[in-house]
Amino acid sequence: MNGGGAAGEAWGGPSLRLEALELIEVALPLVRPFRTSFGEERVKRALLVRARTDGPDGWGECVAAPEPRYSEEWLEGAWFAIREWIGPAVLAGGPVDDPAQVEKRWSWVRGHRMAKAAVEAAVVDAWLRAAGRSLREFLGGVQDRVPCGVSVGISHPVEATLEEIEGYVAEGYQRVKVKIEPGHDVELVRAVREAFPNIDLSVDANGAYRLADTRVFVALDEFDLLMVQQPFHPEDFVGHARLQREIRTAVCLDESIRSARDVDTAIALRACMVFNLKPGRVGGLQESLRVHDRVQASSRLLRVGGMRETGVGRALNLAVASLPAVGLPGGTSGSHRCFEEDLTRPFVLEPDGTMEVPRGPGIGVTPLPDRLAACTARTETVRAG
């Protein structure tokens, strides 16, 4: 991979024999409910993929939620797709000499990007551990530490939001993003801006508005926002382009971006000024590099978001956030922001608002055995043929 190139060819590396893929569903209580325009989440349910090999094992995390609210993918569907098609296709392909081979083995499977991303992550992690290389180095990352922001869910009354933000600002987060929905927007942002006049502030609608609501975003121009994220439906590129022409604040596309082709569409239509890359949503690391390179060539801004992943997914996101074109604080917050106890060693925000990119081989972390056992709801093993 290596910044968009073929890393296996650039370095050489091990020939790794895949023995099986283990699917593991985990459930971790959140420290506080997290509400968006999609609904409320109190427990983080996640699908982990463990690549068992003749060398080190590797780990990946699927970002699909239990229900198809955020996207058309959901946890049970991802489990089924990996078990029935994606996993067997990868395992049947023989030894992995170059991680780029993984994507080719499932090329006949349409969609299921979140499921594919989890499998690819696990295989790449195992391959890199065998090679003794970090994911950051493999991708071509240039930062040892990355600046971090935090997302604040919808809560009532407004005073509760202000209190939550005050805590995050005191911890050192470099950017605050507030979730909004119709009826809970302009006055909320006004209160936040008055209470915190100097913070880098943005809002995230998660597609809850329509073009007819443009007046809301015109009103938000008053508050010197860093960006307004995903105002409209993910497929409404034309609507976002019209909105961007009407407002000064940068539009950021998030759920709309599921591939590098979506980036091309958004650039051609001038639908946004900022892109939010989530590796688990676009189909994995190789597609993330394609998105990165497209955005870099367009001179637009890029950030790397998170989806309240466990430490497995957080480690991967931090490595992607170290890429050279990433110019805005990302969405990978400290572990304690979500969990009393993470699955891996905790990720800690430094007082300057940055977080260290793991340096060890692969993603640089592994689930703690006792913690993993305590959180596991079910497992299943996938084998070739």
Nearest residue to 255 via CA among 309, 200, 305, 296: 305
Q: List 378's β-bridge partners, or say none.
A: 25
Instruction: Give, for 265, the enclosing helix (H) or strand (E).
Output: helix 260-269
Rg (CA), the chain: 20
DSSP state of 366: -
Both tokens assigned to 139: 């991708």
Q: Distances in Å between the alpha carbon of 20 and those of 17, 82, 318?
A: 9, 12, 27
Nearest residue to 180 via CA among 331, 330, 37: 37
Burial code (b: 16+ CB inside 10 Å, e: under 16) for 104-120 equals ebbeeeeebbbbbbbbb
Q: Distances in Å between the alpha carbon of 315 and those of 113, 146, 237, 344, 363?
A: 19, 12, 31, 10, 6
| Positions marked active-site | 179, 278
- DSSP assignments along 151-204, one per residue: EE---SSHHHHHHHHHHHHHHT-SEEEEE-BTTBSHHHHHHHHHH-TTS-EEEE
SS3 74: coil
